[in-house]
């Protein structure tokens, strides 16, 4: 069956071709842009980037956002996935409602949260009607960095928890029931069963979810730009600024390199820390 052996490769050939053309080629071009200035190879773009006023803030903000959003999203999604296990009726509807934010575009999500949190937004109106505040309060200015960070984090958590949830739900569905039942027979409490049986079995799904979510959180852009504007620079919004306003593609490409290196590093860390030996796979 000569043709049969080639068939899988033929089937994945279009996808591979498109990935190569639409991903690898631009990647190579970005690397070339980042390491070239005035037609010669150099680190000039990186030194411009590192010397820039916003670079430090952008790095700190990006890491802070990931450090807060990803663990919160993970815990929320894990809790939701566990609860869904025990829902008998309406499970599909619930899952569907929980994944609505996935269908909303990043920018739309940012604008929705802006409409809630701005001076004349819904939050201020509600607080005003409840008599909590006497006049609209500004949450999103450079003078209120904590509230601003909180606003960006909440919007990002709202927008992207569903992707973690869906991956975990898929993982939970294929878990064999026997392990949990065996633990119960030996007298394990539900919590003990969750920690010692369910979590280790879920490790491959958790790894996938965390890698995906962390990489995407480092690429957060539209939500951050809509809510934070210039007051909350992150790595990708700086790349956009250098490309769009400062018209310096080299520095923008340098930022893209930084985001890529961080993403690869984060992926490697997750791969190493959450490694599942073949024998333990469910």
Task: Out of 16, 47, 138, 196, name the contact with other proteins by CB under 8 A.
Answer: 138
The number of helices, as runs of H, and strands, as runs of E, in the chain is 14, 2
Contact criterion met (CB below 8 Å) for 235 and 255: yes
Segment near other proteins (CB under 8 A); pick from 25-33, 101-109, 137-145, 253-261: 137-145
Instruction: Say if residues 101 and 161 touch (Cβ distance below 8 Å).
Output: yes
Tell which one of 16, 42, 141, 280 touches other proteins (CB under 8 A): 141
Report the nearest approach of other proteins to the CB of residue 118 (Å).
8
Residues 87-126 interacting with other proteins (rule: CB under 8 A)? 119-120
Total binding residues for other proteins by CB under 8 A?
A: 17
Angle subtended at Cα 56 by Cα 51 and Cα 60, rounded to the nearest 5 degrees: 165
Taking contact as CB under 8 A, which single stretch among the options 88-96, 194-202, 211-219, 227-235 is the one that binds other proteins?
227-235
Minimum Å gap between C-beta 77 and other proteins is: 32
- Using the rule CB under 8 A, give the single segment among 3-11, 14-22, 138-146, 204-212 that binds other proteins: 138-146
> Is 248 among the residues that bind other proteins (CB under 8 A)?
yes
With beta carbons less than 8 A apart as the criterion, state whether 197 and 188 touch: yes
Do the Cβ atoms of 84 and 91 come closer than 8 Å? yes
Which of 81, 140, 157, 216 touches other proteins (CB under 8 A)? 140
User: What is the DSSP-derived secondary structure letter of residue 143?
Assistant: T
Rounded to a whole number of angstroms, the minimum distance from the CB of residue 67 to other proteins is 24
Segment interacting with other proteins, rule: CB under 8 A, options 3-11, 16-24, 205-213, 225-233:
225-233
The DSSP element (H or E) to which 37 belongs, if any, is strand 36-37
**Whether the Cβ atoms of residue 88 and residue 201 lie closer than 8 Å to each other:** no
Taking the complex as a whole, how short is the minimal distance between the CB of residue 270 and other proteins, in angstroms? 33
Work out whether 189 is an interface residue with other proteins (CB under 8 A). no
Spatial separation of the C-alpha atoms in residues 73 and 77, rounded to whole Å: 6
Q: Find the part of the chain contacting other proteins (CB under 8 A) among 15-23, 192-200, 223-231, 259-267.
A: 223-231
Coil, helix or strand at residue 36: strand
Binding other proteins (rule: CB under 8 A), the pick from 225, 234, 252, 258 is: 225
Helix (H) or strand (E) holding 55, with range, is helix 55-85
The count of residues in the chain is 282
**42 sits near other proteins (criterion: CB under 8 A):** no
- Minimal distance, residue 242 CB to other proteins, in Å: 9
Instruction: Indicate the Cα dihedral angle 253, 255, 257, 258, nearest 10°.
Output: 170
């Amino acid at each position: 069956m000569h043709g049969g052996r080639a068939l899988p490769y033929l089937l994945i050939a279009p996808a591979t071709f498109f990935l190569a053309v639409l991903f690898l080629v631009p990647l190579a071009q970005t690397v070339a842009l980042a390491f070239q200035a005035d037609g010669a190879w150099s680190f000039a773009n990186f030194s411009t980037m590192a010397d820039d006023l916003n670079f430090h803030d952008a790095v700190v903000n990006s890491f802070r956002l990931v450090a807060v959003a990803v663990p919160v999203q993970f815990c929320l999604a894990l809790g939701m996935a566990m609860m869904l296990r025990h829902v008998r009726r309406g499970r599909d509807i619930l899952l569907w409602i929980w994944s609505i934010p996935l269908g909303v575009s990043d920018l739309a999500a940012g604008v929705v949260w802006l409409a809630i949190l701005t001076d004349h937004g819904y939050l201020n109106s509600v607080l005003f009607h409840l008599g909590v505040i006497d006049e609209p309060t500004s949450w999103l200015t450079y003078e209120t960095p904590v509230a601003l960070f909180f606003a960006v984090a909440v919007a990002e958590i709202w927008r992207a928890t569903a992707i973690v949830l869906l991956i975990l739900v898929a993982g939970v569905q294929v878990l064999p029931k026997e392990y949990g039942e065996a633990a119960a027979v030996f007298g394990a409490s539900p919590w003990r069963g969750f920690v010692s049986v369910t979590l280790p079995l879920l490790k491959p799904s958790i790894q996938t979810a965390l890698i995906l979510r962390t990489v995407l959180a480092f690429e957060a852009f539209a939500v951050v730009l809509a809510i934070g504007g210039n007051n909350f620079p992150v790595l990708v919004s700086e790349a956009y600024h250098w490309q769009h306003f400062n018209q310096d593609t080299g520095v923008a490409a340098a930022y893209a390199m930084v985001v890529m290196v961080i993403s690869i590093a984060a992926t490697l860390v997750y791969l190493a820390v959450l490694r599942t030996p073949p024998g333990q796979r469910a």
